[in-house]
Chains A and B, each alone.
Chain A
Amino acid sequence: MSDEIKITPVNRGKRPAFFDDPAIDQLMAIVMAMSAEMSVLYDRVDTIERLLDKKGTLSRDDIEAFRPDQGVEDERNGRRNDYISRLFRIIREERETLVAHDKMDEYNALMDELAKS
């Protein structure tokens, strides 16, 4: 058997674009793909560090063969979550600042509180 199999869409339809300029949708796709590649690179460094810690030396095969156990995976997921949070901060912040609050009221309330304590 030599038949190569390519997994291509069959009937995915037109890709939806949400912004008036579809280049913005494309740009977001590029940013997201890049975010994944940075994470993959970080994991590779993490693998190298773990192997060096353990063995003091390593080969490329060691890296390729390395599979995280549940503990390492949990650590990496914690780091990935923090990384995603930092990367997409601007979107999260918008949500957080939607609810208007009066800075002066906040300041006065804090001053009152501090004066009492």
Chain B
Amino acid sequence: MPLQHEHDFLVTGSHDEMNRQHYVSRLRMHILNQIGGGVRDVYENRVKPAFEKDKGRIPKNETEIHKAMMADHYGRTWSTMMVNCQDMVWDSVRPAIERAQPDLNDRVRGVNARYGSVTLNPDIAMPRYLEAADIHRMPGNYHTERAVDDATQGALYDRGRFVYNGGAAGPFADGIPRTMAAYIKARWPEFKPKRILELGCTIGTSTVPFVDAFPDAEVHAIDVSAPSLRYGHARAEALAKPIHFHQMNAEDLDFEDGSFDLIYSCIIFHETSRKAYPKILEECQRVLTSGGMMAHTELTPVANMSDFDAFYIDWDAYYNNEPFYKTYTSLDPQEWVTGAGFEQDKFFQVSIPDLDRSSSDAFADSVSNPTVADSKAARVGESARWYTYGAWK
């Protein structure tokens, strides 16, 4: 596990707090890989045979598997450990951030914008899907304002997500977008976007790789959450990355028609809603230039999965405060992309090997021979491949 890059605004903690955070990362990986890996064995060797003996048939769908697994003590132990470890992640980073305040907010407020900008809109309405639940059980979600000009949630997310991931996305927590930016360059070398937009950027960790990959482009990033944007702007300035942050809702962008050549989003749709999803795609269609491209990294649709894998993946919808997760993974992205006005033959989808966790051959192969084949069902952070889809306008 790499150590996190400590930019000027990152709050880590004391000697013991950092070691506690690093332990929680290891514990979470153990629960995911060792204990979570046993869930299938328990299903195949104990739960399924018992169900068959009792009912004279195997479970017919994901719901039946879910009920049977949650009645088994292994399913329960795994589940309670998953939920508890999630809370331990946030608890491990919380005290240091509380101590860092209100000084942190003062420092964020005092940032001298040398590279980019941040434009907030205090009148913006928070979407219901963000207010309805503390997503990932993160206390206060992305948007809660605990003080004037608050950046607390940004700091909480920056360190908490790194602990959650166990550093799997690298020192800058940018494995997915770095992979995506490299992929776009490798597969479409003639594509030279002049203006780039990221949707749902939170603190801009997924925006930075596009600044690096396309140094001649003007890069913008939007989110509805002000605390995330304030912190993200401070972070980008500390890293000397020119990014223009805006507080906007992706369902209703304030940008002109045809104003971006490339729109990217990194695993945001499943945290929105069924109503918001098509609206966001329609906004992409509207603000893209002719010949522009949108690309969205997201969860793999369950249509490509077995009932057991669907149960395993959808666990998060029930127990990790991700209300739209289950519905989202049941949708066919191609149908919704074309429904938003993109042409059928302009759609693409591909499963891309993570740059840091795959061989360069595997990456090159996904460029020359794009496929969505992904044999292993995995939740975010477990997989070494990233399902991405999009379309050209």
Give Cα distance in the complex from A86 to B118, angstroms: 49
Task: Among B42, B70, B139, point to the contact of A7 (Cβ < 8 A).
Answer: B139
Task: Among B19, B81, B101, B318, point to the contact of A40 (Cβ < 8 A).
Answer: B19
Closest to B133 in A: A11
Q: Does A95 contact B (CB under 8 A)?
A: yes
Q: Does B334 contact A (CB under 8 A)?
A: no
Q: Does B366 contact A (CB under 8 A)?
A: no
CB distance from B385 to the nearest CB of A (A): 24
Which residues on the A side are within 8 Å of B2 (C-beta)?
A: 70
Give Cα distance in the complex from A64 to B13, angstroms: 10
Residues B58-90 near A (CB distance < 8 A): 70, 73-77, 79-81, 83-85, 88, 90
Task: Among B1, B26, B41, B106, point to the contact of A98 (Cβ < 8 A).
Answer: B41
Name which of B141-149, B280-288, B290-298 contacts chain A. Answer: B141-149
Known contacts A13-B133, A85-B34; decide if A47 and B1 are in contact (CB<8 Å): no
Check B79–A18 contact: CB distance below 8 A: yes
Task: Among A40, A80, A95, point to the contact of B41 (Cβ < 8 A).
Answer: A95
Give Cα distance in the complex from A13 to B141, angstroms: 12
Q: Does B27 contact A (CB under 8 A)?
A: yes
Give Cα distance in the complex from A94 to B63, angstroms: 25
Give Cα distance in the complex from A8 to B152, angstroms: 11
Residues A18-53 near B (CB distance < 8 A): 18-19, 24-25, 28-29, 32-33, 35-37, 39-40, 43-44, 47
Give Cα distance in the complex from A81 to B28, angstroms: 11
Known contacts A4-B101, A13-B321, A70-B3; decide if A28 and B80 are in contact (CB<8 Å): yes
Check A7–B146 contact: CB distance below 8 A: yes
Which residues on the B side are within 8 Å of A85 (C-beta)?
A: 30, 34
Closest to B43 in A: A98
Which residues on the A side are within 8 Å of B19 (C-beta)?
A: 39-40, 43-44, 76
Task: Among A7, A35, A44, point to the contact of B140 (Cβ < 8 A).
Answer: A7
Which residues on the B side are within 8 Å of A81 (C-beta)?
A: 26, 30
Which residues on the B side are within 8 Å of A6 (C-beta)?
A: 98, 146
Which residues on the A side are within 8 Å of B233 (C-beta)?
A: none
Give Cα distance in the complex from A5 to B104, angstroms: 11
Check B77–A91 contact: CB distance below 8 A: yes
Give Cα distance in the complex from A71 to B320, angstroms: 34
Give Cα distance in the complex from A6 to B90, angstroms: 13
Residues B300-324 near A (CB distance < 8 A): 318-319, 321
Q: Does B368 contact A (CB under 8 A)?
A: no
Which residues on the B side are within 8 Å of A44 (C-beta)?
A: 15-16, 19
Task: Among B18, B20, B24, point to the contact of A67 (Cβ < 8 A).
Answer: B18
Check B22–A80 contact: CB distance below 8 A: yes
CB distance from A100 to the nearest CB of B (A): 8
Give Cα distance in the complex from A29 to B24, angstroms: 13
Check B147–A9 contact: CB distance below 8 A: no
Check B1–A73 contact: CB distance below 8 A: yes
Known contacts A32-B27, A64-B15; decide if A92 and B35 are in contact (CB<8 Å): yes
Give Cα distance in the complex from A65 to B15, angstroms: 7
Residues B169-192 near A (CB distance < 8 A): none
Which residues on the B side are within 8 Å of A16 (C-beta)?
A: 79, 83, 318-319
CB distance from B87 to the nearest CB of A (A): 8
Which residues on the B side are within 8 Å of A11 (C-beta)?
A: 131-134, 141
Closest to A74 in B: B1
Which residues on the A side are within 8 Å of B147 (C-beta)?
A: 3, 5
Check B79–A3 contact: CB distance below 8 A: no
Q: Does B220 contact A (CB under 8 A)?
A: no
Closest to B34 in A: A92
Which residues on the B side are within 8 Å of A77 (C-beta)?
A: 1, 22, 26
New contact pairs (16) apart from A16-B79, A91-B38, CB-CB < 8 Å = A5-B98, A7-B139, A7-B156, A8-B139, A32-B85, A36-B20, A36-B92, A40-B16, A44-B16, A44-B19, A67-B15, A77-B26, A81-B26, A85-B34, A88-B34, A94-B42
Interface pairs (16), CB distance under 8 Å: A3-B147, A5-B146, A7-B140, A7-B146, A8-B140, A9-B137, A11-B141, A13-B321, A28-B77, A32-B84, A65-B15, A85-B30, A94-B42, A95-B35, A95-B41, A98-B42
Interface residues of A (CB under 8 A from B): 1-13, 15-19, 24-25, 28-29, 32-33, 35-37, 39-40, 43-44, 47, 63-68, 70, 73-74, 76-77, 80-81, 84-85, 88, 91-92, 94-95, 98-99
